[in-house]
């Protein structure tokens, strides 16, 4: 867990950070549809799981820019930026209708990430414990697949004043629209470190990375 401490006086969003961490504590979230036609086709052609392929692309996108790797250390009042963040995915148990968090280490090596993510999911299927361990996984972001619906909007609330800065990303079922497969994706970030541009940028980067990924 390596990170750097951000100099709050030199931080390029200094004024925005102060305002939205002190005066107007809030988050910003956007839901948009991402074109996953090529990713679905590539997954089918290679016999790989679309879900894990998207999780890899998402993790790569969020690790591509410091703004998406920020955290607040309330004990020392330090703004920090992790060198790398990892996805907390989830396994749903049909019999109990509950979820188990799955901590998967991100690697830019796709084959390694795919094997690890698949093994982590299979291991989590053997338990019915919630197993949340956020204290020992501070640089993990929430990545949750809502497989039952292709939704149009989603909003996640956190307690007022709680400076949780890591992204929270959800996505639903894709559906065909005008011959393309479009998937709803929701990105929530704290307004202290992200505005509409930075949240919207995640969607642009996702589609760019999907195109690059499918050329492999």
Domain boundaries, the chain: 3-213
Q: Tell me the per-residue pLDDT of 78-90, one tens digit each, with 9 for 90 and over.
A: 999 999 999 999 9
The pLDDT of residue 76 is 93
Quote the CATH superfamily of domain 3-213: Chloramphenicol acetyltransferase-like domain (3.30.559.10)
Q: Tell me the per-residue pLDDT of 111-161, one tens digit each, with 9 for 90 and over.
A: 999 999 999 999 999 999 998 898 899 999 999 999 999 999 998 887 766
Determine what percent of the chain falls in helix, strand and coil, rounding each to the nearest 5. 35, 30, 40
The pLDDT of residue 160 is 64
Read off the pTM: 0.96
Q: Which residues of the chain have pLDDT under 70?
A: 1, 160-161
**Cα torsion through 145, 182, 203, 130, rounded to 10:** 0
């Amino acid at each position: 867990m390596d990170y750097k401490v951000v100099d709050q006086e030199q931080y390029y969003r200094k004024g925005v950070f102060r305002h939205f961490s002190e005066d107007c504590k809030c988050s910003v979230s956007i839901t948009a549809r991402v074109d996953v036609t090529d990713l679905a086709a590539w997954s089918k052609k290679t016999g790989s799981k679309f879900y894990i392929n998207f999780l890899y692309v998402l993790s790569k996108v969020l690790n591509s820019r410091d703004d998406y790797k920020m955290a607040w250390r309330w004990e020392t009042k330090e703004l920090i930026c992790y060198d790398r963040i990892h996805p907390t995915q989830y396994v749903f148990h049909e019999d109990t209708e509950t979820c188990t968090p799955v901590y998967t280490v991100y690697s830019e090596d796709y084959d390694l990430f795919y094997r690890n993510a698949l093994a982590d999911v299979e291991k989590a299927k053997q338990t019915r414990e919630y197993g949340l361990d956020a204290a020992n996984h501070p640089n993990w972001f929430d990545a949750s697949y809502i497989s039952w619906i292709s939704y149009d909007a989603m909003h996640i609330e956190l307690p007022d004043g709680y400076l949780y800065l890591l992204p929270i990303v959800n996505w639903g079922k894709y559906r065909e629209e005008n011959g393309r497969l479009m998937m709803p994706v929701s990105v929530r970030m704290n307004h202290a470190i992200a505005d509409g541009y930075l949240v919207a940028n995640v969607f642009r980067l996702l589609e760019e990375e999907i195109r690059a990924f499918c050329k492999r």
